[in-house]
Amino acid sequence: MTHKKQDYINTLREKIHYHNQRYYQQDEPEIPDAEYDRLFRELQALESEYPELLSDDSPTLRVGAAPLKAFEQVQHKIPMLSLANAFTEEDLYAFEKRIRDRLKEDKIIEYVAEPKLDGLAVSVIYEKGILTTAATRGDGQTGENITQNVRTISSLPLKLSGLFPDVLEIRGEVFMSTNGFNNMNAKAIKNDEKVFANPRNAAAGSLRQLDSSITAKRPLDIYCYSVGICEGYDLPLSHYETLMCLKKWGLPVCSEVKVVEQAKGCWDYYQYIGDKRNSLPYEIDGVVYKVNLLSDQERLGKVSRAP
Ligand code: IVH
């Protein structure tokens, strides 16, 4: 009896997982929302009837879990560092000169240019493809365990697709889109509830809820921007290709990420994003440049708390 139920529950989960991918990764839903809701509610009903058949990759974890008393601490195996700043075009050329001097090689240096999303840094660990732990950055060494909350972010898969590492830690930025923020505040005003000052505060407040069913109702989003731990998989040689791997596994990566060449390419990208800034669906507080070749990143090492 339970075997049959287990099979049925697995099929339902697979179906919901498939439709989540169609909706969030491919932007091509195949069934109406009402039909999706019906499948989801059926799974919820079965899981509450057979709690022993609950699992770590069930799509129902998206609606939140029992409230916590406090967040537990999580040690980051690889510290979560910070970034160095450049404020002028001269700073940018000086940055490239430092890189050139340290690499002692006369070649065209490729960078990956990315929007600097205005949200909160998180670390998310997948073991055997299943999202098992998520943590805040904290002081860079120790963060808070916010797994229940991060599981409610609809665009982040609870389960990776394809051939993935045994253990994968991604780092990314949790944020709230401008639209999501405005709608949420409009509702809050109507219901005489707390209004947030800006999307970043709203994202921070939502992510640090002890009751993840509240987080589940907030329009949070995430873009992944790097890899921490990776076991049982040979990652590509460049940062850009690594991001494309993340995409292939179903993880959301910002579509404005571009490969550029030399300081000039970085500057042009800065102008490009500046022109587009007001029409981007999220808030940014700058752009980030990363040396594309991982072997060069390795050789460059880190200065103080920034790579
Ligand atoms: S890379 C070694 N990429 O900026 C640091 N960070 O001080 C690796 N941020 O709080 C960070 N967008 O969360 C990186 N595309 C991006 C980012 C980004 C926003 C945040 C990050 C951190 C701060 C870095």
Catalytic one among 5, 15, 116, 248?
116
- pLDDT-based confidence at residue 118 (cuts at 50, 70, 90): very high
CA distances from 279 to 141, 177, 283, 284 (A): 36, 12, 10, 11
Cβ-Cβ contacts under 8 Å for 187 (sequence gap 6 or more): 193
Residue with the smallest CA separation from ligand 1 atom 23 is 82
Give me the pLDDT at residue 24, please. 86
138 CA from centroid of ligand 1 (Å): 13
State pLDDT tens for residues 259-307: 999 999 999 999 999 999 999 999 999 999 999 999 999 999 877 667 7
Say if CB 211 and CB 153 are below 8 A apart. no
Give, for 184, the enclosing helix (H) or strand (E): helix 178-190
Give me the pLDDT at residue 3, please. 84
- Region of residue 140 (phi > 0: left; psi between -120 and 50: alpha; otherwise: beta): left
Q: Which of 135, 125, 129 is nearest to 159 (CA)?
A: 129
Question: Quick check: CB of 149 below 6 Å from ligand 1?
Answer: no
Task: Give alpha helix (H) positions in 50-177.
Answer: 89-103, 147-150
The minimum-distance atom of ligand 1 relative to the CA of 226 is 1
For the residues 25-54, what does the mean pLDDT come to? Answer: 92
Is pLDDT of 54 > 60? yes
Return the sign of the alpha-carbon dihedral for residues 295, 297, 140, 246: negative
Q: Which pTM value belongs to this model? A: 0.94
User: Structure tokens of 101?
Assistant: 């001097």
Question: Quick check: CB of 114 below 6 Å from ligand 1?
Answer: yes
User: One-letter amino acid identity for 9?
Assistant: I
For the residues 86-100, what does the mean pLDDT come to? Answer: 93
Residue with the smallest CA separation from ligand 1 atom 3 is 225
Cβ-Cβ contacts under 8 Å for 77 (sequence gap 6 or more): 169, 228, 229
Mutate to test the pocket of ligand 1, among 141, 174, 288, 304 (most ligand atoms within 8 A of CB): 288
209 CA from centroid of ligand 1 (Å): 22
Question: Quick check: CB of 258 below 6 Å from ligand 1?
Answer: no
User: Structure tokens of 194?
Assistant: 């707390």
For the residues 187-210, what does the mean pLDDT come to? Answer: 95
Question: Quick check: CB of 188 below 6 Å from ligand 1?
Answer: no
Is pLDDT of 215 > 60? yes
Mutate to test the pocket of ligand 1, among 116, 120, 170, 259 (most ligand atoms within 8 A of CB): 116
Is pLDDT of 57 > 90? no
For the residues 208-226, what does the mean pLDDT come to? Answer: 97
Residue with the smallest CA separation from ligand 1 atom 12 is 116
Say if CB 229 and CB 199 are below 8 A apart. no
Neighbours of 98 (CB within 10 A): 13
Is pLDDT of 195 > 60? yes
Give me the pLDDT at residue 1, please. 55
Give me the pLDDT at residue 304, please. 62
- Region of residue 60 (phi > 0: left; psi between -120 and 50: alpha; otherwise: beta): alpha
Residue 15, SS3? helix
State pLDDT tens for residues 144-182: 999 999 999 999 999 999 999 999 999 999 999 999 999
Question: Quick check: CB of 117 below 6 Å from ligand 1?
Answer: yes
Question: Quick check: CB of 121 below 6 Å from ligand 1?
Answer: yes
- Has 116 been annotated as catalytic? yes
Question: Quick check: CB of 288 below 6 Å from ligand 1?
Answer: yes
Say if CB 160 and CB 249 are below 8 A apart. yes
Say what percent of the chain tops pLDDT 90. 89
The minimum-distance atom of ligand 1 relative to the CA of 254 is 15
- Cα 16 off chain centre by: 21
Q: 51 or 199, which is more confident?
A: 199
Say what percent of the chain tops pLDDT 70. 99
- pLDDT-based confidence at residue 71 (cuts at 50, 70, 90): very high
